[in-house]
Amino acid sequence: MDDHAEDRLASLESVWYEIVEAVNAGRTAGLICPECNAPDGLTVEEAQGRVIVSCPNCKRVVEVGIATA
Ligand SMILES: [Zn+2]
């Protein structure tokens, strides 16, 4: 059902919210994937005003837009 898919997406965004907030605050070290909790942590790459956070373990990739006001 579509409603269920939207719920899943919303919960996915909420587990990553903490990571997105940390990256926005400039804390990119020692981040742990909220989905698989891989001990190796997350890879953070910055490119042209965007930050790509990826998990080498579960292959999740999350793009963070950095506010540059
Ligand atoms: Zn992961």
The residue among 12 and 69 whose pLDDT is bigger is 12
Give the whole-angstrom CA distance, residue 6 versus residue 47.
29
Q: What's the one-letter identity of residue 43?
A: T
Distance 51 CA to ligand 1 centre (A): 17
Give the whole-angstrom CA distance, residue 8 versus residue 26.
28
pLDDT at 31 over 90: yes
Could you report the per-residue pLDDT of 36-59, keeping only the tens digit for each?
999 999 999 988 888 899 999 999
Distance 41 CA to ligand 1 centre (A): 8
Distance 35 CA to ligand 1 centre (A): 5
Contact yes or no for 58/33 (Cβ under 8 A)? yes
Distance 36 CA to ligand 1 centre (A): 4
Contact yes or no for 21/30 (Cβ under 8 A)? no
User: For the whole model, what pTM was predicted?
Assistant: 0.74
